[in-house]
A and B are shown apart, each in its own frame.
Chain A
Amino acid sequence: MSDKFISLEGIAKRYPGPGGSTTTIFQDLWLSMDRGTFTCVIGHSGCGKTTVLNILAGLDTPSAGALIVDNQEAEGPSLDRAVIFQSHALLPWRTVMGNVAFAVSSKWRKWNTHQVREHAQTFIDLVGLSGSEHKRPSELSGGMKQRVGIARALAIQPKMMLMDEPFSALDALTRGTLQDEVRRICDETGQTTFMITHDVDEAIYLADRIVLMTNGPGAVLAEIVENPLPKDRQRNDIHKHPLFYAVRNHIVDFLITRSRTFVEQTPDYDPRNVAVVRPGFEPTVAVSADETAASARLAHG
């Protein structure tokens, strides 16, 4: 199972502050992801989630530490790691087909127009945009734009997808449908996925592991929540699962109080061995940080 694909090893991000001081957004952050897993990050604004994602994407460089992909230090962006941007970042002068084809022809530079279009069409169909190939982004709704963003990311058949709050700008109904599709696509293609979200339910529905970050500046990766819900969970009855509220409450509690107090309450915090929690499998649901860490360490061996 331990098929490690990508890891962040002791990364930090610091910015020069006023008067020659430095502001540390986060430091000594370790996180690794196995192939085919779906990881969500939850944390308040300013904890550096987006910076972590940008470092994974190669768009940003850490002030310290390294990004390891397939046991090699990675530098800069790569076609192996596709990004789905929050603002979808479609090129407005290109059509739907043009946007997807741009990505396809970037990956397979020797392909002729016909091959590129055929390949792009497959992924436009996959996200359910057949018939809208010749529309420009300005003619599409927010949900359709994000579908194009997803098609563009999938079309280059990356080893990993990085999503920065991909559904936050969408209405609830569209968000639900797109979540279903992303889940289906990730299951079918066995993507390794890293996603930032503010939506606890979204994280529980989609993710295998939910990474909790404390408040910045000086944010740390507090714990990793292993999703105890079955793999074949469905949107319509996920909230009826006996463990659903155990997970949900654990995360919400973290966001409300422990994201603030975690650092002072956990003096023996070890950034290299972050606690792994399976809510519902502990004796109590509302565990304190110490207990959680202790039980997780026990579980870890």
Chain B
Amino acid sequence: MTNTLSLRAAVVSVLLFAVFVFAWHLAVQGTTQVADMDPEYAALMGKTATEGTSAMPGPLDVGAALWDHIRRPFYDNGPNDKGVGLQLAYSIARVLTGYFFAVLVAIPIGFLIGMSPLMSRALDPFIQVLKPISPLAWMPLALYTIRDSNQSAIFVIFICSLWPMLINTAFGVAQVRKEWLNVARTLEVGAFRRAFTVILPAAAPTIVTGMRISIGIAWLVIVAAEMLVGGTGIGYFVWNEWNNLSIVNVINAILLIGLVGMVLDQILARFGRMLTFPE
């Protein structure tokens, strides 16, 4: 039953994709009217005016360019001409670094907040104020204090990944069933062992949900951050190709950003399933 359902869903997906690509292909077919103009004037005009082709690339152009990128993902011809794989690698490295530091900070502090009602109330106003700040608003301050564009981008990832993990960890820890804690108490389990053998596994599904939200936000923010700091990364690539007026590459970059984001999300979803326990 589920097998045939997923098979049918896959067929529908493929059909929808085919319809979309075909519609796209038709939509970018050239306009027929070509104005009769002076050759000197025509030289100043784009191909839309002179040859009647659409300014928007069609699926075939994008596909060809994508194939090109896939064949040579890691070439490096200088600052403005790097393979898209290389650019993605820069972005992923920044996201993982900032994210890693966010995990190191958010989970222990989340534990503290979840376990101590005092700290929960004391830290609450700070979290409430800091959480809604757009991570990009930190960028000037980061650039000013850190004085390194790459590290500033990592800092922005750190700050945006922090909150969902922090809040989910605190919530998960605070919601651990009283009876499980009572079991640990009657067994005279020390605080340290209790944190690792009872609270952490009990809160793990909630913590991983927070981590999954965080990696999604981090991947959203890295593109914008790299557009600002420039140099390397997929966000810079998008902006650079826009400046080159290469819409084909912009579309390809959008597609690749989506695919990488999906992979990151799926990795954490799988991780979460490993830690979830049925009751």
Q: With both chains docked as a complex, state the minimum distance between the C-beta of A101 and any C-beta of chain B, in angstroms.
A: 11
Given A89-B180, A137-B279: 13 more A-B contacts, CB < 8 Å:
A59-B186, A77-B185, A78-B186, A79-B186, A81-B186, A85-B179, A85-B182, A87-B179, A91-B201, A93-B277, A102-B187, A103-B187, A136-B278
The 3 residue pairs across chains A and B that have the minimum distance between CB atoms: A106-B187, A89-B179, A93-B277
Query: Chain B interface residue count: which class?
Result: 20 to 34
Q: What separation, in Å, do the CA atoms of A102 and B187 have in the docked complex?
A: 9
B183: Cβ under 8 A from any A Cβ: yes
A sample of 8 cross-chain residue pairs with beta-carbon separation below 8 angstroms, ordered by A number, consists of A59-B182, A78-B186, A81-B186, A89-B177, A89-B183, A92-B279, A102-B187, A136-B278
- Bound-state Cα–Cα, A137 to B201, Å: 15
Which interface residue of A91, A107, A137 has the most chain B CB atoms within 10 A?
A91
- Contacts A87-B179, A91-B198: A156 and B278 contacting too (C-beta < 8 A)? no
Which listed residue (A58, A59, A138) contacts B279, Cβ 8 A? Answer: A138
Contact, CB under 8 Å: B183 / A91: yes
Partner among A76, A81, A85, A136 whose Cβ is within 8 Å of the Cβ of B183: A85
- A79 to B201 CA separation, bound complex (whole angstroms): 23
Q: How far is the CA of A78 from the CA of B185 in the complex (A)?
A: 8
Kindly list chain B residues whose C-beta atoms are within 8 Å of the C-beta of A76. 185
The distance from the CB of B54 to the nearest CB of chain A, in whole angstroms, is 57
Q: Give the distance to chain A from B174, nearest Cβ to Cβ, in Å.
A: 18
Residues of A within 8 A of B189 (CB): 106
Q: Give Cα A103–Cα B279 distance, bound, in whole angstroms.
A: 20
Chain A residues proximal to chain B, CB less than 8 Å: 57-59, 76-79, 81-83, 85, 87, 89, 91-93, 102-103, 106-107, 136-138, 156
A-B contact count (CB 8 A): 58
Contact residues of B between 59 and 82, Cβ < 8 Å to A: none
Chain A residues whose CB sits within 8 angstroms of the CB of B198 once the complex forms: 91
For the complex, give the distance between the alpha carbons of A154 and B185 in Å. 16
The secondary-structure label for the interface of chain B is: helix
Looking across the interface, which residue of chain A has its beta carbon closest to that of B189?
Answer: A106
B interface residue numbers (CB < 8 A to A):
177, 179-180, 182-183, 185-189, 193, 197-198, 201-202, 204, 275, 277-279
With A89-B179, A93-B201 in contact, do A106 and B278 touch (Cβ < 8 Å)?
no
- Kindly state the separation between the CA atoms of A32 and B193 in the bound complex, as whole angstroms: 34
B277 touches A83 (CB 8 A): no
How far, in Å, is A300 (CB) from chain B's closest CB?
35
Residues in A whose Cβ lies below 8 Å from that of B279: 92, 137-138
Complex Cα–Cα for A156 and B277 (A): 26
Query: Is there contact, CB below 8 Å, between A136 and B277?
Result: yes
CB distance from B126 to the nearest CB of A (A): 31
In the complex, chain A residues whose CB is within 8 Å of the CB of B202: 91, 93
Docked Cα-Cα span, A59 to B279, in Å, equals 24
CA separation between A137 and B180, bound complex, in Å?
14
CA distance A106 to B204 in the complex (A): 22
List the A residue with the shortest CB-CB distance to B185.
A77
A136 to B201 alpha-carbon distance, docked (Å)? 14
| Separation of A102 and B183 alpha carbons in the complex (Å) | 10
**Which residues from chain B contact A59 at a C-beta distance below 8 Å?**
182, 185-186
Interface centre among A85, A93, A137 (most CB of B within 10 A): A93
Question: Are A79 and B187 in contact, with the CB atoms below 8 A?
Answer: yes
| Residue among B179, B186, B279 with max Cβ neighbours from chain A (10 Å) | B186
Chain B residues, Cβ within 8 Å of A83: 182-183, 186
Q: A58-B186, A77-B185, A103-B187 are in contact. Are A91 and B180 (CB under 8 A)?
A: yes
* Bound-complex Cα distance A93 to B197 (A): 10
CB of B114 to closest CB in A, whole Å? 18
Q: Which residues of B have CB within 8 Å of A79?
A: 186-188
State the Cβ distance, B202 to closest chain A Cβ, in Å: 7
B277 lies within 8 A of A92 (CB): yes
Q: Are A82 and B277 in contact (CB under 8 A)?
A: no
Residue of A nearest to B179 (CB): A89
A87–B180 Cα distance when bound, in Å, is 10
Chain A residues positioned under 8 Å from B179 (CB to CB) = 85, 87, 89
Q: When chains A and B are docked, how far (Å) is the Cα of A137 from the Cα of B278? A: 8
Contact flag A138-B182 (CB < 8 Å), given A78-B188, A103-B187, A107-B187: no
Compute how far the CA of A65 lies from the CA of B129 in the bound complex, rounded to whole angstroms: 47
Could you tell me the distance between the alpha carbons of A95 and B180 in the complex, rounded to whole angstroms? 15
CA–CA, A89 to B184, complex, Å?
10
Q: In the assembly, what is the distance between CA of A87 and CA of B183, in Å?
A: 11
User: Which residues on the B side are within 8 Å of A89 (C-beta)?
Assistant: 177, 179-180, 182-183
Residue of B nearest to A90 (CB): B183
Which A residues lie within 8 Å of B177 (CB)? 89
Query: Can you name the residue of chain B whose Cβ is closest to the Cβ of A79?
Result: B188
Residues of chain A within 8 A (CB-CB) of B180 are 89, 91
Contacts of B277 in A (CB 8 A): 92-93, 136, 138
Which of A57, A89, A103, A136 has the largest number of chain B CB atoms within 10 A?
A: A89
A79–B180 Cα distance when bound, in Å, is 16
In the bound complex, residues from chain A placing their C-beta under 8 Å from that of B278 are 92, 136, 138
Residue in chain A with minimal CB distance to B197:
A102
Nearest A residue to B205, CB-CB: A93
